[in-house]
Structure 1
């Protein structure tokens, strides 16, 4: 894997995961909802070091370093040096959680090289079938022709699950795309990642 790809994914892990996996706030009536929140496993994968396998926040602050902000609410996060991969701090780093739309980064990394941006595609009913209720949509319509470039704009700018589904069908369907994404995750050594749906919509497994 190239150095640039390693850097990009290290930055993505540090920046995007905390934003998407933030835990819900306490109830407005002041009652703490912590007891109802899911708890991390007591022991997790130790890939990257023993501390990463422990629940809770793990950091070894050097003298003079500022303490971590107390208001961090993400269920799982990791901060790493994008140049050398050294983990600076983490919180439930290996806790398996639903990825939501952060999975679209892996989708793009897997499928972007497959189709020239000038290629056109006539959208069919099958292309848009099977989207989860409440999915974010960019407004792709059946019987309309779109360029690959425009479909990717729908993925990146609006997190459009409809655009993801069209590109998925262009890639020979759901099962093939899931296999491709899991293979790409393995190549990137994203060993905690298990793809079930290309758009990141919650699904069993």
Structure 2
């Protein structure tokens, strides 16, 4: 059913209706993170530009090779080729950073400068893109074509609501990924001092008038002129974790992606156990990634309420604290304002 166009859902008697009047996204999906069951979807395999939600795949691919404790001094060539209008965290040439700081720059500020440095440490831009492609294939995410590891608009670079949900689900099994994607705010070093950075995921932080979603545990938002607004979000309630993907809402302005995700999460928690799955997110843990030099990542935690998920649940409670006071820093490159 997931390869059919339009909305797919199999309600049982008494199941709540999907609030389709509130959803304008070109593609979306709601899944149970423990079982992988897809509760409902709309154009799940439609190939669309992913924007910075592709950074979920970047992290899945590179995190196992670059743990947070490593220190690295940034070279000039590592910051070359950053696209005009890119979101930046403020990585500076010649400055030494812990890799953990760079990862916070990726997850919170959606910093393409941090992605470029980490990709250079991982063997280079093209090598990282190839490894990401292999990782996607190993996860069964067959709609994704990687050309720019930071998600920057590039002709031919696409993913889908289905694939992004696969990446989000896989990421939440990795404690480092889960910790970074649920962090609302942090300090970023600037040589003898530091400044505050805030997660650009407004559904997590409550910034810009968007109400934070109770129990939200990440994962990643994105925006480019070609992709529009995109979001992979996960939340936990009553022992159940849901993953939702929303791609390119057509109505409601720049923050509609958060409200549409909110509506889908609300529906998913009400509908769980009252709808039959319309498909499943493939689960290929332990299958080696294809291609030379590809990495399969750290051993995944089992899905469900075993190792991994309690850590994520604990993070969720902390992530919402003080969200209303989060300071959101947007950066400029070549005079253009960008969002994560």
The answer to whether the superposition gives a TM-score over 0.5 is yes
Provide the residue aligned with 1:150 in structure 2. 101
Q: 1 or 2, which has the higher helix percentage?
A: 1
**2:107, 2:33 → 1: CA distance?**
22
Tell me, what secondary structure is at the counterpart of 1:141?
Answer: coil
By relative contact order (CA 8 Å, sep 6+), the higher-ranking structure is: 2
Of residues 37, 48, 64, the one that matches 2:14 is 64
Tell me, what secondary structure is at the counterpart of 2:39?
Answer: strand
* Equivalent runs, 1:22-41 vs 2, <5 Å: none
Quote the offset at 1:165 in angstroms: 0.4
User: Which whole-Å deviations, capped at 9, do the CAs of 1:155-197 have from their partners, x for residues lacking one?
Assistant: 1111111000000111111111011111111111111111111
User: Which whole-Å deviations, capped at 9, do the CAs of 1:13-32 have from their partners, x for residues lacking one?
Assistant: xxxxxxxxxxxxxxxxxxxx
User: Which whole-Å deviations, capped at 9, do the CAs of 1:123-175 have from their partners, x for residues lacking one?
Assistant: 12211111111111000011111111111111111111100000011111111
Provide the residue aligned with 2:49 in structure 1. 98
Of residues 160, 163, 171, the one that matches 2:114 is 163
How many residues get paired? 155
User: Which whole-Å deviations, capped at 9, do the CAs of 1:73-119 have from their partners, x for residues lacking one?
Assistant: 22111112222222211100000000111111111111111123222
**1:120, 1:127 → 2: CA distance?**
15
**2:104, 2:31 → 1: CA distance?**
29
**1:156, 1:187 → 2: CA distance?**
23
Name structure 2 gaps, 5 residues minimum.
157-340
Name structure 1 gaps, 5 residues minimum.
1-50
Provide the residue aligned with 2:159 in structure 1. none
* Equivalent runs, 1:41-190 vs 2, <5 Å: 51-69=1-19, 70-190=21-141
User: Which whole-Å deviations, capped at 9, do the CAs of 1:41-62 have from their partners, x for residues lacking one?
Assistant: xxxxxxxxxx212211111222
**2:76, 2:10 → 1: CA distance?**
54
Of residues 141, 151, 155, the one that matches 1:204 is 155
RMSD: 1.1
**1:190, 1:86 → 2: CA distance?**
15
Provide the residue aligned with 1:29 in structure 2. none
> Post-superposition, which runs of at least 4 consecutive aligned residues in structure 1 deviate over 3 A?
none
Q: Could you say if the C-alpha distance between residues 116 and 58 of structure 1 is closer, same or farther in structure 2, counting changes exceeding 3 Å?
A: closer
**1:83, 1:113 → 2: CA distance?**
22
**1:103, 1:140 → 2: CA distance?**
20
**1:83, 1:156 → 2: CA distance?**
23
